[in-house]
Amino acid sequence: MLKILKTMATAAAFAALCWQMASAQAIEKKDITIGLPLNTSTLLPIYVADAQGFFKEEGINVKIVAFKGGTDLVRGMVAGAVDIGVGAFSEALVGVETGQGVKIFYGGFNMAVFDWYSVPSIKTLEEAKGKRFGVSTFGSSTDFLTRYALKTKGIDPKSEVQIVQGGGSVPRLAAMEAGQLEVNIFATPEKFMAADRGFNLILQQKSIAPDFPFHCFYAREDFIKNDPNAIKAVLRGFAKAVRWSKAHKEESVKLLAAKLGLEETYLNRGYDDFIDEIFEDGRLASDAGMKAFWDVGIMNGTYKQPMPVEKYWVGAFHDTYNEWKPK
Protein backbone atom coordinates (compact mmCIF):
# COMPACT_ATOMS: atom_id res chain seq x y z
CA MET A 1 0.00 0.00 0.00
CA LEU A 2 2.82 2.36 0.96
CA LYS A 3 4.51 1.63 -2.35
CA ILE A 4 1.29 2.46 -4.20
CA LEU A 5 0.92 5.73 -2.30
CA LYS A 6 4.52 6.68 -3.07
CA THR A 7 3.94 5.91 -6.71
CA MET A 8 0.77 8.00 -6.74
CA ALA A 9 2.56 10.86 -4.98
CA THR A 10 5.39 10.72 -7.51
CA ALA A 11 2.90 10.71 -10.37
CA ALA A 12 1.02 13.63 -8.85
CA ALA A 13 4.24 15.60 -8.39
CA PHE A 14 5.24 14.88 -11.97
CA ALA A 15 1.82 15.96 -13.22
CA ALA A 16 2.04 19.17 -11.19
CA LEU A 17 5.48 19.88 -12.63
CA CYS A 18 4.22 19.30 -16.17
CA TRP A 19 1.27 21.59 -15.52
CA GLN A 20 3.57 24.29 -14.19
CA MET A 21 5.82 23.99 -17.23
CA ALA A 22 2.83 24.14 -19.56
CA SER A 23 1.43 27.13 -17.70
CA ALA A 24 4.76 28.89 -17.97
CA GLN A 25 4.58 28.50 -21.73
CA ALA A 26 0.87 29.27 -22.03
CA ILE A 27 0.06 31.83 -24.68
CA GLU A 28 -1.31 34.89 -22.92
CA LYS A 29 -3.17 36.28 -25.94
CA LYS A 30 -4.20 34.14 -28.89
CA ASP A 31 -5.76 36.80 -31.12
CA ILE A 32 -2.92 38.96 -32.39
CA THR A 33 -3.06 41.92 -34.76
CA ILE A 34 0.12 42.55 -36.74
CA GLY A 35 0.37 45.93 -38.38
CA LEU A 36 2.44 46.69 -41.50
CA PRO A 37 3.22 50.19 -42.78
CA LEU A 38 2.23 49.03 -46.27
CA ASN A 39 2.40 45.91 -48.41
CA THR A 40 5.85 45.34 -49.88
CA SER A 41 7.84 42.37 -51.15
CA THR A 42 10.51 42.51 -48.43
CA LEU A 43 7.88 41.54 -45.85
CA LEU A 44 7.53 38.15 -47.58
CA PRO A 45 7.87 35.97 -44.42
CA ILE A 46 4.90 37.69 -42.79
CA TYR A 47 2.69 36.81 -45.77
CA VAL A 48 4.08 33.27 -45.89
CA ALA A 49 3.48 32.66 -42.17
CA ASP A 50 -0.13 33.64 -42.69
CA ALA A 51 -0.72 31.82 -45.98
CA GLN A 52 1.03 28.60 -44.93
CA GLY A 53 -0.69 28.47 -41.55
CA PHE A 54 2.51 28.77 -39.50
CA PHE A 55 0.92 31.21 -37.06
CA LYS A 56 -2.00 28.85 -36.53
CA GLU A 57 0.42 25.97 -35.93
CA GLU A 58 1.77 27.98 -33.04
CA GLY A 59 -1.69 28.37 -31.51
CA ILE A 60 -2.42 31.98 -32.44
CA ASN A 61 -4.91 33.71 -34.70
CA VAL A 62 -3.16 36.52 -36.53
CA LYS A 63 -4.83 39.38 -38.34
CA ILE A 64 -2.54 41.35 -40.65
CA VAL A 65 -3.43 44.98 -41.30
CA ALA A 66 -1.57 47.25 -43.76
CA PHE A 67 -1.62 50.95 -42.92
CA LYS A 68 -0.89 54.00 -45.07
CA GLY A 69 2.62 54.46 -43.74
CA GLY A 70 4.69 53.89 -40.63
CA THR A 71 3.41 56.94 -38.77
CA ASP A 72 -0.17 55.68 -38.97
CA LEU A 73 1.00 52.26 -37.84
CA VAL A 74 2.69 53.66 -34.73
CA ARG A 75 -0.43 55.69 -33.96
CA GLY A 76 -2.56 52.57 -34.31
CA MET A 77 -0.29 50.70 -31.93
CA VAL A 78 -0.38 53.44 -29.31
CA ALA A 79 -4.17 53.50 -29.63
CA GLY A 80 -4.31 49.75 -28.97
CA ALA A 81 -5.44 48.72 -32.46
CA VAL A 82 -2.20 46.84 -33.17
CA ASP A 83 -0.30 44.39 -30.98
CA ILE A 84 2.87 44.03 -33.04
CA GLY A 85 4.26 46.22 -35.77
CA VAL A 86 6.60 44.99 -38.49
CA GLY A 87 8.00 47.95 -40.35
CA ALA A 88 10.85 50.37 -40.85
CA PHE A 89 13.43 50.56 -38.08
CA SER A 90 13.39 54.36 -38.33
CA GLU A 91 9.61 54.50 -37.96
CA ALA A 92 9.66 52.27 -34.90
CA LEU A 93 12.14 54.65 -33.30
CA VAL A 94 9.58 57.45 -33.64
CA GLY A 95 7.43 55.55 -31.16
CA VAL A 96 10.46 55.16 -28.89
CA GLU A 97 11.67 58.76 -29.05
CA THR A 98 8.28 60.36 -28.52
CA GLY A 99 7.81 58.53 -25.25
CA GLN A 100 4.87 56.43 -26.43
CA GLY A 101 6.06 53.27 -24.70
CA VAL A 102 7.23 51.46 -27.84
CA LYS A 103 10.33 49.26 -28.12
CA ILE A 104 11.92 47.10 -30.79
CA PHE A 105 12.20 43.43 -29.78
CA TYR A 106 13.35 41.63 -32.95
CA GLY A 107 15.23 42.43 -36.13
CA GLY A 108 16.06 40.01 -38.91
CA PHE A 109 15.44 42.24 -41.94
CA ASN A 110 18.91 43.68 -42.57
CA MET A 111 18.64 44.73 -46.19
CA ALA A 112 20.63 47.32 -48.11
CA VAL A 113 18.33 47.22 -51.13
CA PHE A 114 18.37 50.80 -52.41
CA ASP A 115 20.23 51.73 -55.60
CA TRP A 116 20.50 54.91 -57.64
CA TYR A 117 19.81 54.93 -61.38
CA SER A 118 20.47 57.69 -63.91
CA VAL A 119 19.29 58.56 -67.39
CA PRO A 120 21.37 56.99 -70.21
CA SER A 121 23.46 60.14 -70.80
CA ILE A 122 24.89 59.93 -67.25
CA LYS A 123 27.31 57.06 -66.73
CA THR A 124 28.84 57.87 -63.33
CA LEU A 125 27.93 59.59 -60.09
CA GLU A 126 30.47 62.30 -60.84
CA GLU A 127 28.60 63.10 -64.05
CA ALA A 128 25.41 63.58 -62.01
CA LYS A 129 26.65 66.78 -60.39
CA GLY A 130 24.23 69.63 -61.01
CA LYS A 131 21.44 67.21 -61.90
CA ARG A 132 18.01 66.53 -60.37
CA PHE A 133 17.81 63.64 -57.90
CA GLY A 134 14.35 62.25 -57.21
CA VAL A 135 13.18 61.19 -53.75
CA SER A 136 9.70 60.29 -52.53
CA THR A 137 9.24 63.27 -50.17
CA PHE A 138 11.49 65.61 -48.25
CA GLY A 139 12.28 64.10 -44.88
CA SER A 140 11.66 60.53 -46.06
CA SER A 141 14.14 57.67 -45.86
CA THR A 142 14.81 58.02 -49.60
CA ASP A 143 15.64 61.69 -49.08
CA PHE A 144 17.94 61.07 -46.12
CA LEU A 145 19.69 58.12 -47.76
CA THR A 146 20.27 60.07 -50.97
CA ARG A 147 21.81 63.03 -49.12
CA TYR A 148 23.97 60.72 -47.00
CA ALA A 149 25.11 58.68 -50.01
CA LEU A 150 26.11 61.80 -51.92
CA LYS A 151 28.03 63.16 -48.95
CA THR A 152 29.96 59.92 -48.45
CA LYS A 153 30.96 60.08 -52.13
CA GLY A 154 32.23 63.67 -51.83
CA ILE A 155 29.24 65.45 -53.37
CA ASP A 156 27.46 68.21 -51.43
CA PRO A 157 23.71 67.42 -51.55
CA LYS A 158 22.88 71.06 -50.80
CA SER A 159 24.94 72.81 -53.45
CA GLU A 160 26.07 70.31 -56.08
CA VAL A 161 22.76 68.60 -56.93
CA GLN A 162 19.08 69.42 -56.82
CA ILE A 163 16.92 67.16 -54.62
CA VAL A 164 13.35 66.90 -55.97
CA GLN A 165 10.42 65.20 -54.27
CA GLY A 166 8.55 63.13 -56.82
CA GLY A 167 6.30 60.72 -54.93
CA GLY A 168 6.42 56.95 -55.16
CA SER A 169 8.87 54.91 -57.19
CA VAL A 170 6.58 54.41 -60.19
CA PRO A 171 5.76 58.13 -60.66
CA ARG A 172 9.46 58.98 -60.31
CA LEU A 173 10.37 56.36 -62.89
CA ALA A 174 7.85 57.95 -65.25
CA ALA A 175 9.38 61.36 -64.51
CA MET A 176 12.78 60.06 -65.61
CA GLU A 177 11.31 58.83 -68.86
CA ALA A 178 9.70 62.23 -69.38
CA GLY A 179 13.02 64.04 -68.82
CA GLN A 180 11.92 65.64 -65.54
CA LEU A 181 14.51 63.86 -63.36
CA GLU A 182 18.03 62.64 -64.11
CA VAL A 183 18.67 60.38 -61.11
CA ASN A 184 16.40 58.36 -58.83
CA ILE A 185 16.68 56.14 -55.79
CA PHE A 186 14.86 52.82 -56.18
CA ALA A 187 14.44 49.65 -54.14
CA THR A 188 13.13 46.24 -55.18
CA PRO A 189 11.46 45.72 -57.66
CA GLU A 190 11.42 49.18 -59.28
CA LYS A 191 15.20 49.23 -59.63
CA PHE A 192 14.96 46.26 -61.98
CA MET A 193 12.31 48.08 -63.99
CA ALA A 194 14.69 51.02 -64.28
CA ALA A 195 17.50 48.76 -65.46
CA ASP A 196 15.28 47.13 -68.09
CA ARG A 197 14.29 50.55 -69.42
CA GLY A 198 17.89 51.46 -70.13
CA PHE A 199 18.74 53.54 -67.07
CA ASN A 200 22.24 53.26 -65.61
CA LEU A 201 23.15 51.97 -62.16
CA ILE A 202 25.54 54.58 -60.73
CA LEU A 203 25.47 53.85 -56.99
CA GLN A 204 24.47 51.01 -54.67
CA GLN A 205 23.56 51.26 -51.01
CA LYS A 206 25.80 48.26 -50.34
CA SER A 207 28.80 50.37 -51.33
CA ILE A 208 28.05 52.53 -48.29
CA ALA A 209 27.38 49.72 -45.78
CA PRO A 210 27.12 45.93 -46.21
CA ASP A 211 23.69 45.82 -44.59
CA PHE A 212 21.16 48.13 -42.95
CA PRO A 213 18.40 47.85 -40.31
CA PHE A 214 15.45 47.81 -42.71
CA HIS A 215 12.38 46.24 -41.02
CA CYS A 216 11.96 45.18 -37.41
CA PHE A 217 9.36 43.88 -34.95
CA TYR A 218 8.17 46.32 -32.30
CA ALA A 219 5.39 46.65 -29.73
CA ARG A 220 4.29 48.55 -26.67
CA GLU A 221 6.41 47.80 -23.63
CA ASP A 222 3.43 46.50 -21.67
CA PHE A 223 2.68 43.94 -24.40
CA ILE A 224 6.31 42.81 -24.48
CA LYS A 225 6.31 42.42 -20.69
CA ASN A 226 2.89 40.79 -20.28
CA ASP A 227 2.67 38.61 -23.41
CA PRO A 228 6.13 37.07 -24.00
CA ASN A 229 4.77 33.65 -25.01
CA ALA A 230 2.39 35.20 -27.51
CA ILE A 231 5.38 37.03 -28.99
CA LYS A 232 7.39 33.79 -29.13
CA ALA A 233 4.50 32.12 -30.96
CA VAL A 234 4.54 34.91 -33.55
CA LEU A 235 8.32 34.68 -33.88
CA ARG A 236 8.26 30.88 -34.25
CA GLY A 237 5.74 31.32 -37.06
CA PHE A 238 8.05 33.93 -38.58
CA ALA A 239 11.07 31.62 -38.30
CA LYS A 240 9.20 28.79 -40.02
CA ALA A 241 8.17 31.21 -42.76
CA VAL A 242 11.76 32.37 -43.31
CA ARG A 243 12.86 28.76 -43.74
CA TRP A 244 9.97 28.00 -46.09
CA SER A 245 10.56 31.15 -48.14
CA LYS A 246 14.23 30.32 -48.66
CA ALA A 247 13.37 26.75 -49.70
CA HIS A 248 10.45 27.63 -52.02
CA LYS A 249 11.42 30.49 -54.31
CA GLU A 250 8.84 29.87 -57.03
CA GLU A 251 5.91 29.61 -54.60
CA SER A 252 7.15 32.68 -52.70
CA VAL A 253 7.27 34.76 -55.87
CA LYS A 254 3.76 33.67 -56.86
CA LEU A 255 2.48 34.59 -53.40
CA LEU A 256 4.01 38.06 -53.72
CA ALA A 257 2.57 38.51 -57.21
CA ALA A 258 -0.91 37.70 -55.93
CA LYS A 259 -0.45 39.94 -52.90
CA LEU A 260 1.12 42.96 -54.58
CA GLY A 261 -0.17 42.74 -58.16
CA LEU A 262 3.36 43.02 -59.61
CA GLU A 263 4.98 41.04 -62.41
CA GLU A 264 6.68 37.81 -61.39
CA THR A 265 9.68 38.70 -63.57
CA TYR A 266 10.61 41.60 -61.31
CA LEU A 267 9.58 39.89 -58.10
CA ASN A 268 11.79 36.95 -59.00
CA ARG A 269 14.82 39.23 -59.27
CA GLY A 270 13.76 41.10 -56.15
CA TYR A 271 13.57 37.84 -54.20
CA ASP A 272 17.20 37.11 -55.07
CA ASP A 273 18.12 40.63 -54.01
CA PHE A 274 16.84 40.42 -50.43
CA ILE A 275 16.17 36.83 -49.36
CA ASP A 276 19.66 36.17 -47.95
CA GLU A 277 19.39 39.29 -45.78
CA ILE A 278 16.42 37.96 -43.79
CA PHE A 279 17.44 36.14 -40.60
CA GLU A 280 15.11 34.01 -38.53
CA ASP A 281 17.01 34.68 -35.28
CA GLY A 282 16.08 38.36 -35.27
CA ARG A 283 19.58 39.81 -35.24
CA LEU A 284 20.17 43.50 -35.79
CA ALA A 285 22.35 44.75 -38.64
CA SER A 286 26.14 44.58 -38.40
CA ASP A 287 28.11 47.26 -36.56
CA ALA A 288 28.85 48.89 -39.91
CA GLY A 289 25.18 48.82 -40.88
CA MET A 290 24.07 50.28 -37.56
CA LYS A 291 26.73 52.98 -37.81
CA ALA A 292 25.49 53.93 -41.27
CA PHE A 293 21.93 54.15 -39.93
CA TRP A 294 22.89 56.50 -37.08
CA ASP A 295 25.17 58.54 -39.35
CA VAL A 296 22.26 59.12 -41.73
CA GLY A 297 20.04 60.22 -38.84
CA ILE A 298 22.66 62.50 -37.35
CA MET A 299 23.43 64.10 -40.71
CA ASN A 300 19.78 64.92 -41.37
CA GLY A 301 19.22 66.21 -37.84
CA THR A 302 16.92 63.47 -36.60
CA TYR A 303 19.40 62.44 -33.92
CA LYS A 304 22.22 64.25 -32.16
CA GLN A 305 24.03 61.00 -31.44
CA PRO A 306 23.38 57.24 -31.65
CA MET A 307 20.57 56.22 -29.33
CA PRO A 308 21.65 53.95 -26.46
CA VAL A 309 20.72 50.38 -27.31
CA GLU A 310 18.85 49.87 -24.05
CA LYS A 311 16.55 52.77 -24.90
CA TYR A 312 15.05 51.11 -27.98
CA TRP A 313 15.99 47.39 -27.90
CA VAL A 314 14.64 44.44 -25.92
CA GLY A 315 17.12 41.69 -26.72
CA ALA A 316 15.60 38.85 -24.71
CA PHE A 317 13.93 37.12 -27.68
CA HIS A 318 17.01 37.20 -29.89
CA ASP A 319 19.30 36.25 -27.02
CA THR A 320 17.23 33.16 -26.10
CA TYR A 321 16.36 32.15 -29.66
CA ASN A 322 17.99 28.73 -29.41
CA GLU A 323 15.79 27.91 -26.41
CA TRP A 324 12.42 28.51 -28.09
CA LYS A 325 13.04 28.31 -31.85
CA PRO A 326 10.98 25.81 -33.89
CA LYS A 327 12.54 22.44 -34.58
Q: Do 39 and 119 fall into the same domain?
A: no
Apex CA 189: angle with CA 201 and CA 275, to 5°?
100
Is the pTM above the cut of 0.75?
A: yes
C-alpha atoms less than 13 angstroms from C-alpha of 227 in its C-beta half-sphere: 21
Parent domain of 188: 115-207
The mean predicted confidence, pLDDT, of the chain is: 90
CB neighbourhood size of 154 (10 A):
9
Domains in the chain, number: 2
Which of 207, 229, 250 terminates a domain? The answer is: 207
In this prediction, residue 302 has a pLDDT band, given cuts at 50, 70 and 90, of confident
Average pLDDT over residues 190-195: 92
From 207, 234, 269, give the residue that closes a domain.
207
Residues 316 and 216 in one domain: yes
Are residue 101 and residue 229 in the same domain, yes or no? yes
Interatomic CA distance for residues 238 and 256, integer angstroms: 16
Whether residue 266 is found in the same domain as residue 311: yes
Residues 44, 148 within the same domain: no
Average pLDDT over residues 197-202: 97
Domain final position from 186, 207, 228: 207
Does residue 9 have a pLDDT over 50?
A: no
Instruction: Check if the beta carbon of residue 253 is closer than 8 Å to that of residue 48.
Output: no
The model's pLDDT over 214-255, given as tens digits with 9 standing for 90+, comes to 999 999 999 999 999 999 999 999 999 999 999 999 999 999
